[in-house]
Amino acid sequence: MLKHTLLYLGVRALNGLLALATLALLSRWLSAEDYGRWALGQSLVGSAALLLFQWAHTAYGRLHRLGPALDAALLRLWAGLALLPLLAAAAAALWRPERAVEALALALGVAGMGLFNFQLQRANASGEPLRYGRLSLLRALAFIALAGLAGAASGVLMAFAAAAWLAALLAGPSLRSAAPAQAALLRPVWQYGGPQLLGFAALALTDSADRLILHSLQGPVALAGYAAAADLMQQTLGVLLSVVYLAGFPKAVQAYEAEPASALPLLARMAHLQLLLAGAFLALVWGAAPGLAALVFGPGLAPAAAALMPWLATAAALAGLRLFLFDLPFQLLQRTRLALASTALVAGLSVAGHLLLVPRLGALGAAWALLGALLLGAALSYARARQSGLLPALGGAGLRVLLCALAAAALLRALPGGPLALQLPLGLLLFGGLAWLLDAAGLRQLIRAATRIPAP
């Protein structure tokens, strides 16, 4: 797992740098109003792709052993589902002709992201981190290049869609299957993924409701700073947590199917790695948010984003741990209905909280509403996962990591200000030193295992 973790970390780190470059460039190329509209459109594309396709993609990751016939069946399923956003765009163009280009961009983006994410899933399930990297990097580079030619939000959305299509067609596994599609294989796909559909609907609502409500009640300019901060957190911490999941989950499936008990040590290592990554990241954001915002965003967005980053970083940590850790036992047990309750709770609380707080507090209210909903959802998901017997107790480890992050952030803020290039390494050293002293999340054992130093 460590080898694949390092490979995925390298891939996602480079991809993360490109994502940061994209945020930096778009926040300078676009006005705050256009950035807010682009951010809303991107969120709608992601949520629609999640709702339409992700239930089948997660089933593919669990049922990959069924072979090439499964690839063919899911490609045919994608083609059928991809027609839905295109038909919706045609109807929208008839109703609002002035929005035809924007509607087409959204529809092509949904279909393209569906195919792109399926290609990512195929590469991951096959144990091909380098192919996974080529897919991700080509999409990121193509988007930057094409977005530079766009002049407004609709043009950037079209560039986003085109980049997904280019990467899926040029860098992914072949779309020509070695076996004919078998409709019968869609039955186990539905049995595994179908129960997750409501969960993905709730997740899509959570991902887009905050931006829709903030845009509707406060306008695109208010959304711009919030969306920029939220995207930065997701493109950094979300990527870090997903690295461990991408490297460990296929091996956890293999171990569980060979002998269920053999998956427990692997899940424990995944949990400790993710807690440490989340803690180190939070220490940096809590301690140096203004400098990070000024580095990444244009001057028109940086102050608003900096004020929201600590709250949204904490929300991203909770969301990532729930998605990439607490829900793993349900996937291994193929009891995905158990994850639905926490997802539905998060969606309902998020919508209610945004409707209550956004009119009064604007973007800050949106950040607080999202954080509160994700905190309760993560607690429920963790409790359910513990009942499965496949997730170790993480209360003590999580508390020590949190204390280390808080102490490192406080020390970083108390020290005289300096260049961000010095603050970030210093923050990591502070967190790492405290985590070593407390042996937070088994850090010493993880380091011994990574360096192959035998325990005394």
User: pLDDT at residue 242 above 50?
Assistant: yes
Residue percentage of the chain with pLDDT more than 90: 31
Q: Which residue has the tokens 């210093």?
A: 426
**Mean pLDDT computed over 351-379:** 93
Q: Is the Cβ–Cβ distance between 1 and 265 less than 8 Å? A: no
Least confident interval from 4-18, 282-296, 354-368, 404-418:
4-18
User: pLDDT at residue 7 above 70?
Assistant: no
- Binning pLDDT at 50, 70 and 90, where does residue 455 land? very low
* Distances from the Cα of 313 to the Cα of 35, 217, 320, angstroms: 20, 24, 10
Looking at per-residue pLDDT, the higher value among 8 and 223 belongs to 223
The encoded tokens of residue 428 equal 């990591």
Least confident interval from 73-82, 184-193, 362-371:
184-193
- Binning pLDDT at 50, 70 and 90, where does residue 450 land? low
Q: What is the pLDDT of residue 164?
A: 94
User: pLDDT at residue 417 above 70?
Assistant: no
**Mean pLDDT computed over 130-153:** 86
**Mean pLDDT computed over 192-203:** 74
User: pLDDT at residue 180 above 70?
Assistant: no
CA distance 71 to 328: 23
Q: What is the pLDDT of residue 86?
A: 92
User: pLDDT at residue 113 above 50?
Assistant: yes
User: pLDDT at residue 3 above 70?
Assistant: no
Task: Map out the domains of the chain as residue ranges.
Answer: 2-451
Looking at per-residue pLDDT, the higher value among 46 and 201 belongs to 46
Q: What is the pLDDT of residue 283?
A: 94
**Mean pLDDT computed over 303-318:** 94
